[in-house]
């Protein structure tokens, strides 16, 4: 199993956000996680990537290794990638420079040789095509002045250059118009491979028309309350979240609403 999560809890202070998540993701699979606001989807993504704001309990194994033993940068090097819901701006740091530094840091941590500027440029040019980004992006500061769609495309570009084993996409579709959605989904689909697993967090069934998942999970109140195949997403679209996991999550979701 590439990713094994067992009884995962996460809290900030007294506020427990994840309340016992269980999830298994095998290589080559795409899992969609859906659920209402405040159900803990983004927290799950952040905890997997190593955000230090949370106190955690439970077991998370990535390729059999304890993920919690690794720093965020070591998780990145071992192949965990998070496409952020809100990519930050880093003024004055060129996008291309940032990407090359990231890739070379990851290669160095893996004990591999770093890419030269020329090698990197060739790689970047190639990958930029897959997300339909032109070169002018590369000389701008990281995400500075990017539109919402440009930021999300930039995340997918980074993913395609870093070639992770486990890609977690946190609401990558939010705020995208239909064209941007198509481009982003195209970039993601191009990266599907038997060696790679993806966890796609989304609010809307719409994205799953483009990225067809192997499994769909519904989160509510800090737990996965229902799992199924891609048809589950359609069911959700029709009936909403209200009906699902009703019994198991009412108490939880009220306190989740108080997330700071």
Partner 1 sequence: MTEVSNDVLAFANQEYKYGFSTDLDTDLVPRGLSEDTIRLISSKKSEPQWLLEWRLEAYRHWITLEEPLWQNVHYEPIDYQDIIYYAAPKTKAALASLDEVDPEMRAMFDKLGISLAEQERLSGVAVDAIVDSVSVATTFKKKLAEVGVIFCSFSEAVQKYPELVRTYLGSVVPYRDNFFATLNSAVFTDGSFCFIPKGVHCPMELSTYFRINAADTGQFERTLIIAEDGADVSYLEGCTAPMRDKNQLHAAVVELVALEGARIKYSTVQNWYPGDAQGRGGIYNFVTKRGKCAGANSKISWTQVETGSAITWKYPGVILQGDNSIGEFYSVALTANHQQADTGTKMIHIGKNTHSTIVSKAISAGHGQNTYRGLVKMLRSAQGARNYTRCDSLLLGSKSGAHTFPYIEVKHPSAQVEHEASTSKISEDQLFYCRQRGISEEDSVSMIVNGFCREVFKELPMEFAVEAQRLLSVSLEGSVG
Closest to partner 1 by CB, 157 or 197: 157
Closest to partner 1 by CB, 53 or 212: 53
Q: Which of residues 146-185 bind partner 1 (CB under 8 A)?
A: 158, 162
Closest to partner 1 by CB, 16 or 170: 170
Stretch that binds partner 1, among 60-68, 92-100, 214-222, 229-237 (CB under 8 A): 92-100
Query: Does the footprint of partner 1 cover residue 97 (CB under 8 A)?
Result: yes
CB of 78 to partner 1, least distance (A): 10
CB of 223 to partner 1, least distance (A): 25
CB of 71 to partner 1, least distance (A): 7
Query: Does the footprint of partner 1 cover residue 81 (CB under 8 A)?
Result: yes
Closest to partner 1 by CB, 37 or 101: 101
Q: Which of residues 122-141 bind partner 1 (CB under 8 A)?
A: 141
Of positions 21, 25, 40, 84, contacts partner 1 by CB under 8 A: 84
* CA–CA separation, 195 and 212 (whole Å): 17
Closest to partner 1 by CB, 89 or 243: 89
Query: Does the footprint of partner 1 cover residue 60 (CB under 8 A)?
Result: no
Query: Does the footprint of partner 1 cover residue 70 (CB under 8 A)?
Result: no
Of positions 12, 26, 112, 117, contacts partner 1 by CB under 8 A: 117
Stretch that binds partner 1, among 104-112, 173-181, 196-204, 230-238 (CB under 8 A): 104-112
Candidates 39, 22, 28; CA nearest to 249 is 39
Those residues whose C-beta lies under 8 Å from the C-beta of residue 203, and which sit 6 or more positions away, are 34, 37, 171, 173, 174
Query: Does the footprint of partner 1 cover residue 210 (CB under 8 A)?
Result: no
The CA distances from residue 117 to 30, 53, 107, 122, 135, in Å, are: 33, 35, 14, 9, 15
The C-alpha R_g of the chain, in whole angstroms, comes to 18
How would you classify the pairing of strands 223-228 and 80-83?
A: unpaired
Question: Token pair 């990958």 is at which residue?
Answer: 127
Contact call for residues 16 and 222 (beta carbons, < 8 A): yes
Candidates 195, 190, 254, 202; CA nearest to 233 is 202
Closest to partner 1 by CB, 92 or 242: 92
- Residues in touch with partner 1 (CB under 8 A): 49-53, 71-73, 75-77, 81-82, 84, 86-88, 90-94, 97-98, 101-103, 105-106, 109, 117, 141, 158, 162
């Amino acid at each position: 199993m590439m990713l094994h999560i067992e009884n995962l809890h996460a809290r900030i202070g007294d506020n427990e956000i994840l309340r016992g998540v269980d999830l298994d993701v095998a290589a080559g699979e795409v899992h969609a996680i859906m659920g209402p606001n405040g159900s803990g989807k983004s927290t799950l993504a952040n905890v997997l990537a190593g955000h230090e704001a949370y106190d955690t309990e439970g077991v998370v194994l990535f390729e059999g290794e304890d993920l919690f033993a690794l720093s965020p940068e070591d998780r990145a090097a071992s192949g965990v990638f998070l496409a952020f819901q809100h990519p930050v701006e880093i003024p004055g740091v060129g996008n291309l420079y940032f990407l090359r530094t990231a890739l070379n840091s990851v290669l160095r941590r893996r004990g591999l040789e770093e890419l030269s500027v020329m090698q990197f440029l060739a790689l970047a040019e190639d990958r930029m095509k897959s997300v339909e980004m032109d070169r002018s992006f590369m000389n701008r500061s990281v995400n500075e002045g990017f539109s919402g769609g440009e930021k999300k495309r930039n995340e997918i570009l980074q993913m395609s250059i870093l070639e992770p084993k486990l890609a977690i996409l946190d609401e990558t579709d939010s705020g995208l118009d239909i064209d941007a959605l198509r481009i982003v989904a195209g970039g993601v689909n191009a990266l599907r491979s038997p060696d790679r697993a993806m966890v796609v967090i989304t609010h809307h069934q719409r994205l799953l028309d483009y990225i067809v998942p192997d499994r769909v999970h519904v989160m509510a109140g800090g737990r996965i309350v229902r799992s199924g195949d891609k048809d589950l997403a359609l069911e959700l679209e029709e009936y909403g979240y209200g009906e699902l996991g009703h019994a198991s999550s009412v108490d939880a979701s009220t306190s989740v609403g108080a997330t700071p």
